[in-house]
Amino acid sequence: MNKKIRLYCFFIFYILFLEIVAHYACFNNFNIGITALFGIAIGIILGIICSLIKKELINKILAIILSIVVAIIYCAEIVYFKMYESFFSLSAIMMVGQVTEGADQIFTVITHNIGVLSITFIPILILIVSLKFWNFKTLKLPHISLLLAILLIIHGGALFTITLDKDGTYSNYQIYNNIASPTTSVERFGILTTLRIDIEKSLFNTNEGDILTGNLQTPDYTENNKLQYNQIDIDWKTVVENQNNKNIKQISTYFSSQMPTEKNEYTGMFKDKNVVFILAESLYKPAISEELTPTLYKMMTEGFNFENYYVPLYPTSTADGEYMLEWSLYPIIGNAYNLYNSRNNYHPYGFVNGFSNFNYKVSAYHGFAAYYYNREEYFKAQGYNDYGFCDTSLNMKCQYFHASDLTMVQNSIAKYINEDKFFTYYVSISGHGKYDYDSNFIVRQNWNLVKDLNYSKNVKGYLAGTIELDKALEYLMQGLEAAGKLDDTVFVLSPDHWPYYFKTKMNELEELAGEQIYDKFDVHKNTLMIYNSAMEKSVTVDKLASSIDVLPTLLNLMGVEYDSRLLMGKDILSTDDSLVIFSDYSWMTKLGRYNGKNFIPASEDIVVTDEYIENINSIVKQKILVSSLIQKNNYYKNLFSTIEKTQSTVATESEVTSSEQS
């Protein structure tokens, strides 16, 4: 027997080593559990691959190349996690230039994690230095057969171990087979196994609808005839019976069991008013002050003041934040194309269809390039009356991820301000990192306003970007007032996410917040502004809410007839309790927070049962799954086509009956 060590031994050690490093870097633990079994199996495969060629030199080169590729994958996943609190998927790899939002941030994250990233390459150096101790000769068939048998036993053992944990919404079995939660999957099964699962689902289009359960059952909420609900008349039984598609049937069954939200004292409060909706890049509530950002401060304190509002960061950052605000649906986690994939989908209550039906001119503008996140194609397909970008009709400076929100407003306001009614959607950019003086011209032009503040340079730079947004809002309000339209215009402003460019230096985020941030949930606590200058008094709302709830809240305020059951969010001003869901399936309710392992009550006197936690887990899973199926099946188009056909049939039958009676 050859005394040299076979390559599969190296690769087994190497994969286990990388998983331990990744677990420590991302989860601050060394618990690789089932990951170890999958890791051994993967190591055997890599060892076999590097022992098939007859020429030892080629096997040596292949082993080194494979080792480097694997190390790069692990490093990339660690960096991605440090940026987005998730792990990238197959679609994210294909869209890497847009998902990462700038090489500067990648470089910053790498710089601050260079130690742990460097460790991943140590075994490769050991391999290269000790080449003479490794056996690169071709494996013979009996040896390969034995390894494959061991591989099957170990992989089968991992799968068997997973089946032992079937009970519960987030059991190992559910995470492995049904639930698309990259973060949880990596923690339990490892990085390479999670990538494999994602690729399998992408290639074979796994039917996730199989895990939806429930019977067609419309809840009885008609006992109190004095109550009115945000709903339309839908004959769910007929809708389901007229469908052959299994997923669409299940979505309809799910919606039939949902309770609509009640109309309230704010229903129709802003009916027929103009709307300016702003997706505020990286805006963070502690950055808003009466001295530095007086317009933002005015909007936050003199309109609807939402004190318990969260903006969860999903893997595709701005695009996913945008998707939740526009659609009131959860993104398909791990899909970098949620906006683009929805471009041709019908949304009855979206910005375009929800308002163009009431003779609004619906426009959209962004201070960055038209290609980014395929926004130009998306805006065009959705049917905006007008849209523009820095490199198209806005005709403004288009520096990489840095642009002036003020210039964006100045170059677009004339396009809609003279309309009888308008809905204008702005995707801001001035708050985008990085925030250093040398590379960010927005920081430079506002530096005199922040240079003497008692903050570090990066925080000053961030505040300079926030000031630019404030200038844009001030200019917009002045223009509307001059046109006599300020009192007839409603402003809605929500961040897309917290300023994660600070994430590698959490002390900067805490410096801005003025307090220590202990909880991963509190990083996402932010602000929502709904403001109209004609409001007689401000309204403080302390109810828990998140970005998924903004669209139904706006629809209710505008008096738009909509069916609240068809959206994942809830009108924040209604009596319904809200649920905040994060990308790793952790969640918050008014009773407390669930981090995927433990429930932390909101106060010491709150006690919840295991049944309560499991029930919320089930609701979370179904909301994310139903959102995914709506997008994949263009559900709203199918639903409303069926409703229209049903109404047409009923009308025809009624006409025939009337004719016969005559």
Q: Which amino acid is at 631?
A: Q
Pairing of strands 580-581, 587-589: antiparallel
Whole-Å CA distances, 215 to 237, 257, 367, 614: 11, 8, 47, 20
Helix or strand run (H / E) with residue 492? strand 489-495
The dihedral built from the CA positions of residue 188, 190, 193 and 194, taken in this order, carries a sign that is positive
Instruction: Give Cβ neighbours of residue 522 (< 8 Å, ≥ 6 apart).
Output: none
* Token pair for 294: 């007086």
Q: Are strands 274-280 and 489-495 parallel, antiparallel or unpaired?
A: parallel
Cα distance between residue 110 and residue 116, in whole Å: 9
Comparing CA positions, the residue from 55, 51, 50, 100 lying closest to residue 77 is 100
Decide if 624 contacts 333 (C-beta within 8 A). Answer: yes
Indicate the residue type of 65.
Answer: I
Cα distance between residue 177 and residue 201, in whole Å: 9
Residue range(s) of every CATH 3.40.720.10 domain in the chain: 266-575
For the residues of 113-126, what is the DSSP string, one character each? Answer: THHHHHHTTHHHHH
The two three-digit tokens of residue 429, written as one number? 């950019």
79, containing H or E segment: helix 56-84
Q: Cα–Cα distance between 202 and 196 in angstroms, integer? A: 10
User: For tokens 């401000």, what's the residue?
Assistant: 538
Cα–Cα distances (Å) from 475 to 39, 411, 412, 479, 554, in that order, read 58, 11, 12, 6, 24
* Residues 6 or more apart whose Cβ sits within 8 Å of residue 487: 532, 533, 534
d(CA 259, CA 256): 8
Asked if residue 4 lies in contact with residue 60, where contact means CB atoms within 8 angstroms, the answer is no
Burial class (CB in 10 A: 0-12, 13-18, 19+), 167: exposed
CATH architecture type of domain 266-575: 3-Layer(aba) Sandwich (3.40)
Are residues 333 and 314 in contact, defined by beta-carbon separation less than 8 angstroms? yes
Give the CA count within 13 Å in the CB-facing half-sphere of 370.
14
Cis peptide upstream of residue 434 (ω within 30 degrees of 0): yes
HSE-CB at 403 with a 13 A cutoff on CA atoms is 27
Instruction: Tell me which DSSP letter residue 88 carries.
Output: -
Q: Are 538 and 302 in contact (CB under 8 A)?
A: yes
| Beta-sheet strand order (sheet of 361-366) | 386-388, 361-366, 422-427, 274-280, 489-495, 529-531, 304-306, 539-541
What is each CA distance from 148 to 35, 49, 137, 426, in whole angstroms? 19, 12, 18, 57
The 3-state DSSP class for residue 363 equals strand
Asked if 276 and 492 count as a contact pair (C-beta separation under 8 A), the reply is yes
Residue 249, token pair as written in the block: 């049937």
Q: Return the ∠ at Cα 585 (arms to 582 and 591), rounded to 5°.
A: 75
Name the residue type at position 209: G
Neighbours of 574 (CB within 10 A): 23
Q: What string of DSSP letters covers 26-63?
A: HHS----HHHHHHHHHHHHHHHHHTT-SS-HHHHHHHH
Q: What pLDDT, in 10s, does the model give residues 615-624?
A: 999 899 999 9
Nearest to 37 by CA among 161, 158, 193, 147: 158
CA atoms within 13 A on the CB side of 72: 7
Give yes or no for a contact between 159 and 153, defined as CB atoms under 8 angstroms apart.
no
pLDDT, position 365: 98
Determine how many CB atoms are found less than 10 A away from the CB of residue 214: 11
Which residues in the chain show pLDDT less than 70? Answer: 1-3, 90-104, 204-226, 503-505, 647-662
Which residues are paired to 304 by β-bridges?
A: 530, 539
Cβ count within 10 A of residue 8: 24
Q: How many CA atoms lie less than 13 Å away from 465 in the CB half-sphere?
A: 28
508 token code pair: 């900067």
What is the pTM (predicted TM-score) of this model?
A: 0.88
